[in-house]
């Protein structure tokens, strides 16, 4: 089997498996007894924080193994690599607006990835995967916020 095919297939599989908590927590916010709603909202926020932080880590790792970056590209990529974690952390201090900050963070991470992934020589299919994953994440976060306001 072609290594690149395996990487693509496994990346897609793991990426979509990573959406399961987002989807399950979102549905739970619509379906559980309202007395449990707060726990599922906190769970959704916590998982979003973890995953957004992970997206920054991708850049840290990519910079460490990319030998063809200029000093300026390296600096920019390393500075960006800590931004998703800082955005995620900031979302914890904003109460109900934390979800909005996370959604903006995921969209910003995708926009930056479109540019920086090319610097690292990552395969083009990866940005398509990131787009699909980002759409589902932002959608589930938005539906969680709606559930919190409708049911809370």
In this predicted structure, the answer to whether residue 18 has a pLDDT above a threshold of 70 is: yes
pLDDT band at 1 (very low <50, low <70, confident <90, very high): very low
The tokens describing 143, both together, are: 């539906």
Q: Is 122 left (phi over 0), alpha (psi -120 to 50) or beta?
A: beta
CA 61 to CA 57: how far, in whole Å?
6
Q: Which helix (H) or strand (E) holds 93?
A: none
Give every CB contact of residue 104 below 8 A, 6+ residues apart in sequence.
87
The residues spanned by each domain of the chain are 23-30+37-151
**DSSP secondary structure, 102-129, as one string:** HHHHHHHHHHHHHHHHHHHT--THHHHH
pLDDT of residue 152: 74
Q: For 59-111, write each residue's pLDDT tens digit.
A: 999 999 988 899 999 999 999 999 999 999 999 998 779 999 999 999 999 99
Task: Extract the tokens encoding 107.
Answer: 């969209």
pLDDT confidence of residue 10: 93
């Amino acid at each position: 089997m072609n290594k690149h095919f395996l990487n693509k297939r496994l990346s897609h599989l793991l990426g979509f498996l990573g959406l399961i908590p987002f989807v399950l927590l979102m549905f739970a916010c619509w379906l559980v007894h309202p007395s449990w709603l707060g726990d599922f909202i906190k769970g959704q926020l916590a998982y979003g924080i973890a995953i957004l932080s992970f997206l920054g880590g991708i850049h840290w790792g990519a910079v460490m193994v990319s030998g063809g970056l200029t000093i300026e590209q390296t600096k920019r990529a390393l500075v960006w690599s800590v931004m998703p974690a800082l955005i995620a952390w900031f979302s914890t201090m904003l109460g109900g607006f934390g979800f909005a900050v996370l959604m903006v963070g995921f969209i910003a991470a995708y926009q930056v990835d479109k540019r920086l992934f090319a610097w690292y020589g990552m395969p083009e299919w990866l940005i398509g995967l990131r787009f699909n994953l980002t759409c589902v994440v932002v959608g589930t976060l938005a539906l969680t916020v709606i559930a919190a306001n409708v049911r809370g």
